[in-house]
Structure 1
Amino acid sequence: MSEGISKQLVLPKGSGFGVKNGALDKDAFRKVVTVLAAKVAPEKAGVLLKAPALKRSLIDVPKVKSVARGPDQDKLVLLKYSDQADLTEDAVQFLRSQAAELVPHELVFDYDYWSTDDVIHAILPKELEEGAPSGFAVVGHIAHMNLRPEYLPYKHIIGQVVLDKNPSVTTVVNKLDNIVDQFRVFKMELLAGEPDFVVTQSENDCKFTFDFREVYWNSRLHHEHERLIEQFKTEDVIADVFAGVGPFAIPAAKKGCGVLANDLNPSSYKYLTVNISDNKVGSLVRPFCEDGREFIRQAFNRAWDDPLAPVPQRKQRRTELKEIRAGERPAPPVGPRRNRISHFVMNLPDTAILFLDAFRGVLSPAIAGERDLSGLYAEATMPMIHTHCFTRELEPEKAEADIRQRVEEKIGHPLGADTVYHWVRSVAPQKEMYCVSFRLPYAVAYAS
């Protein structure tokens, strides 16, 4: 009796298999397996595949088709055994009734057949196999890994495997340290592929171009970007304090919002302007490159002094247009420019809360000067502030209490009962990311 083909296709794990002189030996992964095949006329192949007598004998190996072409245009229905003695008596009798001839057939499995995990688990020594790295983030054509120190001796081999197994990836990098730069970027090293770090990433029906070494981008925040953008109304004006290359600003503008978008990082500002142009939202987004605190203090005045473009008529929601046509609501004035900010987005989770003190007195004469903004910003029309932050508290109630205490300390005022604490994701075993959304208190904005 022979062992089934599935058992023959198991690579040894934790054995340092496939590594030769410190490099990946792809030839080591080549396996040739001989199986039985039932040779029949082409019109009978389907009969064999559906036969109950052969159900447990047909080949069941991933990525291997059940039927191959024979040398004389006959069809070969592949079985999962190499020895006829492994077939059941029912299977043998059925094959005879169909005039099927049992012949040997070679299957070749080379390096390309095996998955990323198969290869990585094989090449590592036993003591490292259990926690073998398998996950990575993809940004454009770059695969980004975060290897633990014990795997660094194998980093280039691991990088080569990831490159080989992912056709859309042409560059593989490894993060070298935590984000410590004020611009939220980290150093990285090239593990495999081309040293090309300028990527194009699609998200929320928008295209973003940037140098991955010079700006912050996290594909895991895709749903968070989408969640907030869904809260914006077409007619809103958004002030994005830490805009990066535009993952909030550009889709909001695509929706029809007017946007003031700021980032202190010159590279982020550079690619923000590129993305504004590429996505054709230049009339709706105004980019800035300045300190976040200064941007907050000037945003209200800028929107008043130079109102943003009106809502593009094609961006009006279908439901709004239906209501207007039915006479259920009045048609909006044609082309009104927008001068009231509805939302502030503060996506700098490490330090965003520290910037909230910039809202103290932001509408007072000390900052607003002679502008009378009280008609725009009454108690019920103050802008919403969406502040991303980290907390070490893992229980939701404790996390909310921690965030509330820190926010109230900075703005100098209690948060309202309608404040929302939204869990975004776990960043580390003892580190959670949240977004706290609250309406700017009237007393804070007009404080002396």
Structure 2
Amino acid sequence: MLSELTLTLKQSLRRQMTLDVSPPLAAGPFNRTLFRKSIPILAARFPGTKLGSVRKSVPMRSAVIDLPRIRSVIPDPADPSGDRLVLLNVSSEVDLPSETVEFLKTESNGLVPYTLELDYDYWTADDIIQAILPEALRERSPVGFAITGHIAHVNLKDEYLPYKHQIGQIFLDKNPQIRTVVNKLDTIDNQFRFFKMELLAGDPEYVAEHHEADCRFTFDFTQVYWNSRLHTEHERLVQIFNPEDVVADVFAGVGPFAVPAAKKGCAVLANDLNPQSAKYLAVNVENNRVADVVRVSCEDGRAFIQAAVNRVLAEPFPAYSGPRKSKTQENKERRKQRALGSQTTVDTNVLLPPRNKISHFVMNLPDSAITFLDAFRGILSHRDRQEIEKIYTTMPMIHCHCFTREIEPELARADILQRVEEKIGHPVPDDFSLYLVRSVAPNKEMYCISFRLPARVAYE
């Protein structure tokens, strides 16, 4: 049976000793100097030799201050070379448990007052945003944003728009890697589908350099579509491709599928109707050193689909020649060859035939990609069937992204299948796959349906 003294000890140790370290409320014009707080606390003096026993002491565990970014042990300002101050989680000795008081009497060199100074730099972005908003808006205050290169982009709800510039400045202050903060507007460019946006804070510099999948992408964020939340989908689809495949990217954007696929070894026809997307796509192809296996075009998606097969037949890509080497690896091999006194290299392209068959079509325009599927009707019908069947022993895979308002998986499946089959004029093969990419809104899901193009459709 526990003694009364032991019970008292346990109850004392369970006491919640907390300090109010929330920032001061600062409604009105944004001013960093308003975010200052002086908190009187107690500190215990300890010789440096005793700090180890202090940390292990049960009576001290709940008494030592435990705050993010605040050191609990500091030099004594009155004697920097002498005792250390252990900051306590109380402002008065009466708030300490009796067993902690006894420990301090026997082990410390006394208690001293100490003032904990907090300022704007101490609090997080969420803390500061909570402090500037009226109480009614604090519960669901905006704390999240996506980063593209040096740009942070937010989607503020209407009720937070009066505070948009303050919120933007806070995000800018609290994230050193960010130089520009923008708010995406509800309106989007109807033809090219990129978001309109407004500057909230920072430099009006919208040409971003973004890194994903060991690739470097450069683009004007105000002129092209880019969604950092799709990086796992980019990786998922590229993993499906074999290095020797030819991929036709119908709505390539600035290259989030095309460039990683090319670095994997694939040959790529990369197309986008937006001239700005095609411009930066070409830049990214060059910067990532895959220009030898990527052909960039700026065409309507339907025309691109209908011409793609003939283009690769008329001008095949070079044969797959093994894993692509980085610039460092290439330089290392050159130095090795020079050391051996030989400049001879083995041309592995002669071991495999040129690539003249498309293995995959990627259609990442979820708002309307399904409506382009009718373009696949007859894409092989203009060639001699006996000859083309020798090349296309299997039909290309189509990976079509789309939205659906159906939240239940079975209903979503039925909705997407019905729309796809209506456009291609043929049932989708039974071995198709349907992958949920992400939830876009409470009643809107993004899927990718992957299926092999039926031969009947291709030769129609």
Shift of 1:214: 0.4
Structure 2 distance, partners of 1:222, 1:48, is 48
Residue 68 (structure 1) aligns with: 74
Asked whether the equivalents of residues 26 and 35 of structure 2 are also in contact (C-alpha less than 8 Å), the reply is yes
Matched, 1:178 2:184: no
Q: 1:297 aligns with which of 301, 306, 309?
A: 306
Displacement, 1:353? 0.5
Tell which deviates more after alignment, 26-35 or 87-96.
Answer: 87-96
- Report percent identity of matched pairs: 57
Deviations 1:5-61 (A, max 9, x none): 74421346xxxx3233xx212222200112111112222222212211211111112
Task: State the Cα deviation string for residues 386-406 of structure 1 (Å, max 9, x = none).
Answer: 000011111111111111111
Distance change (3 Å), C-alpha of 1:425 and 1:171: same
- Aligned match of 1:10 in 17, 22, 32? 22
Q: Secondary structure at the match of 1:437?
A: strand
- Deviation, 1:411, is 0.6
Q: 1:419 aligns with which of 423, 432, 445?
A: 432
* 1:5–1:35 contact (8 Å) kept in structure 2: no
Change (3 A) 1:209 1:6: farther
**Structure 1 residue 374 corresponds to structure 2 residue 389:** yes
Q: Which residue of the other structure, out of 34, 55, 60, is the alignment partner of 2:40?
A: 34
Change (3 A) 1:62 1:299: same
Give SS of 1:111's match: coil
1:25-174 alignment runs, 5 A limit? 25-71=31-77, 72=79, 73=81, 74-174=83-183
TM-score, length-scaled by structure 1 = 0.90
Cross-structure match for 1:386:
399
1:340 to 342, 357, 377: 357
Q: Secondary structure of the equivalent of 1:113?
A: coil
Partner secondary structure for residue 199 of structure 1: strand
Which digits, 9 at most, give the CA deviation of each residue in 1:415-434, with x for residues without a partner? 11101111111111111110
Q: Contact conserved, 1:307 with 1:338, CA < 8 A, in 2?
A: yes
Distance 1:434 1:129 in 2: 34
**Contact 1:224/1:424 (<8 A) preserved:** yes
Partners of 1:257 and 1:371 lie apart in 2 by: 27
**What is the count of residue pairs matched by the alignment?**
421
Secondary structure at the residue paired with 1:8? coil
Question: Could you report, residue by residue, the CA deviation over 1:112-167 in whole angstroms, capped at 9, with x for unpaired residues?
Answer: 11111111112111222222112111111111011112211111111111111111
8 Å contact kept, 2:213–2:260: yes
Match of 1:239, SS state, is strand
Question: TM-score, with normalisation over the residues of structure 2?
Answer: 0.88
Report the Cα distance in structure 2 between the residues aligned to 1:312 and 1:248, rounded to whole angstroms: 21
Residue 19 in structure 1 maps to residue 27 in structure 2: yes
- The one-letter code of the counterpart of 1:60 is D
Show CA shifts across 1:330-384 (max 9, x none).
Answer: x99625321111000000001101111110000002xx48993221113xx1000
Residue identity opposite 1:53 in structure 2: P
Q: Deviations over 1:237-258 (max 9, x none)?
A: 1000000000000000110011
Partner Cα separation in structure 1 for residue 362 and residue 391 of structure 2: 19
Question: Gaps spanning 5+ residues in structure 1: where?
Answer: 317-330
- Separation of aligned partners in 2, 1:129 and 1:213: 30
Hey, what does 1:319 align to over in structure 2? none
Secondary structure of the corresponding residue to residue 141 of structure 2:
coil
Q: Secondary structure at the match of 1:60?
A: coil
CA contact (8 A) 2:397 2:451 kept: yes
Q: Are 1:363 and 2:375 counterparts?
A: no
The letter for the 2-side match of 1:307 is: P
Q: Distance in 2 between matches of 1:362 and 1:312?
A: 29
Where 2:90 maps in the other structure, the secondary structure is coil
